Structure 1
Amino acid sequence: MSGAPYMTVRVPLTIRHRPGRKTVVTPVLPGALPLTATRADPALVKALARAFRYQRLLDEGRYGSISEMAAAEEIERGYLGSLLRLTLLAPAIVEALLDGQEQSLSLPRLLEPFPTSWTEQEALFGRGPSPRQGAHQ
């Protein structure tokens, strides 16, 4: 073997320290589209992702009940039930949360009971139907 047995790769980046997390900021390359930062609440995004994952596992029959899933996933059954309720949120609300447009809603607020009707949710949380939804559901 000839030459060096290793290679060094340098990637220009900046690490910004924010309360509770670190963010990697990569440079914008010439000709590339700049990334748009989201202001979505990371805890809320994570909770929504988990809720839809847990719902998918139930739908696929991987677990027969919420109690069985809670034991297997090692989380409290009541919390799992509250997370699963997030899958009942109106699509316009979920989209606004993921886009960071809805700053007034927090995870603790969404874990409280809310109506299952999308129209009632939008009235409660102060959002009208999205233009794509129109007035129909």
Structure 2
Amino acid sequence: MTRATPIPETITLHVPFRVVKRGGRKEMQLPDGAARSRSSDNTLVKTLARAFRWKRMLESGDFATIAELAEREGIAASYVTRVLRLTLLAPDIVEVILDGQQAPEVTLAILMKPLSEHWQNQNDAIR
């Protein structure tokens, strides 16, 4: 536009997106081909961090059993066990999650379910 061109009173802007639930919160999902900002799923990242912290605590001998760790953390031992499974995820899956580039279907609920111990099978199941 130039100074001689009048500015219209109303501008209509069409932005295609859809709202999806992800990790218990709503998120805008852009269409394929649209530029995506890197936005990690905080719930997923925090749970991964917790899993690796608990694993380190168990391996270092700070806690002898999962039950002892769970009691100290004030949570159920079964939850600790499910979270600790995340330490068995393929490194490329962990990296994708930390970069915020995982598919919308990859949620904490999905990852807390038992997955194959073979990394290639995990990739096939998740992607």
TM-score, normalised via structure 1 length: 0.64
Q: What does residue 120 of structure 2 align with?
A: 119
Tell me which residue corresponds to 2:47. 47
Deviation, 1:38, is 3.0
**Structure ranking higher in helix proportion:** 2
SS at match of 1:82: helix
Please report how far the alpha carbon of residue 50 of structure 1 lies from its aligned counterpart in structure 2 after TM superposition. Answer: 0.2
Rounded to whole Å, the distance in 1 between the matches of 2:76 and 2:114 is 17
- Render the CA deviation track for 1:47-98: whole Å, top value 9, x for unaligned: 0000000000001000000001000111111110000000000000000011
Alignment-derived partner of residue 67 in structure 1? 67
Q: In structure 1, give the amino acid aligned to 2:46.
A: K
Q: Distance in 2 between matches of 1:49 and 1:123?
A: 24
Ranges in structure 2 where 5+ consecutive residues have no aligned partner: 1-24, 26-36
CA distance in 2, matches of 1:120, 1:81: 21
Provide Cα deviations, 1:90-121, integer angstroms capped at 9, x if missing partner: 00000001101103200011111111110110
Aligned amino acid, residue 105 of structure 1: V
Percent of counterpart pairs with the same letter? 43
Runs (4+) of structure 1 exceeding 6 A deviation are none
